[in-house]
Structure 1
């Protein structure tokens, strides 16, 4: 069993970590974590995309469709920690605030 701090805050991200722990997710392994940035209006501006590329590298842009409002996704590879995930979300959201963007969702494929 992997050692980790199971005292995650009572918030949406903490809930995800508790669900991952319940399925015996290997937190110490290296994973590719997907982060999604939502924008108030579509499409995101060129400068917003340029800044995200500068900060995080390659982006995937998913335009709106019938079931989704559209988002921009980037990935970071490394161990999955609460502090790591939430700090990336805070940095990305802070950088995208001027462009009407926010990073509030993330995921990892097992």
Structure 2
């Protein structure tokens, strides 16, 4: 079992502790969804072109008013789920889009937990 006490006391560490409580398999690679949000939505065609040239796997997700979710760019990366990886990937994505008003500070993993 993963030692949960080593995770920092931040939002990412909290998410990892929740996953550990649900018997998440940290030894296997999973599809991790990173949500890149922007100061203004919808994005212009120029912004979309710039993002797609750097992140060709990007998907554009329109706002979902029912769930109160903002429009965002979705990036899916297959990797082991570690604090180091999710923190570094959020920083990397934020650096890529910061010049056009974007930031990444949230993620999710779509995988069954437990048995």
Q: Tell me if TM exceeds 0.5.
A: yes
Q: Secondary structure at the match of 1:91?
A: helix
Q: Are the counterparts in 2 of residues 64 and 70 from structure 1 also a CA contact under 8 Å?
A: yes
Q: State whether residues 48 and 96 of structure 1, in contact with CA within 8 Å, keep that contact through their aligned partners in structure 2.
A: no
What displacement does 1:107 show?
A: 0.5
**Alpha-carbon separation, structure 2, partners of 1:78 and 1:31:** 6
* 1:63 equivalent in alignment to 2:73: no
- The whole-number CA distance in structure 1 between the counterparts of 2:46 and 2:87 is 24
Deviation at 1:42, TM superposition (A): 0.9
Give the Cα–Cα distance (whole angstroms) in 2 for the partners of residues 51 and 80 of structure 1: 28
Alpha-carbon separation, structure 2, partners of 1:39 and 1:108: 21
In structure 2, list runs of 5 or more residues that go unmatched: none
Deviation at 1:101, TM superposition (A): 0.6
Conserved? CA contact 1:37–1:103, under 8 Å: yes
Q: Name the count of aligned residue pairs.
A: 108
Which residue pairs with 1:34 in the alignment?
33
CA separation of 1:83 and 1:72: change in aligned 2, threshold 3 A? same
- Please give the TM-score of this superposition, normalised by the length of structure 1: 0.86
Query: Helix, strand or coil for the counterpart of 1:34?
Result: strand
- Structure 1 moving runs of 4+ over 3 Å: 45-57
Structure 1 unmatched runs, 5+: none
Q: Does 1:87 align with 2:88?
A: yes
Query: In the alignment, which residue of structure 1 is the partner of 2:105?
Result: 104
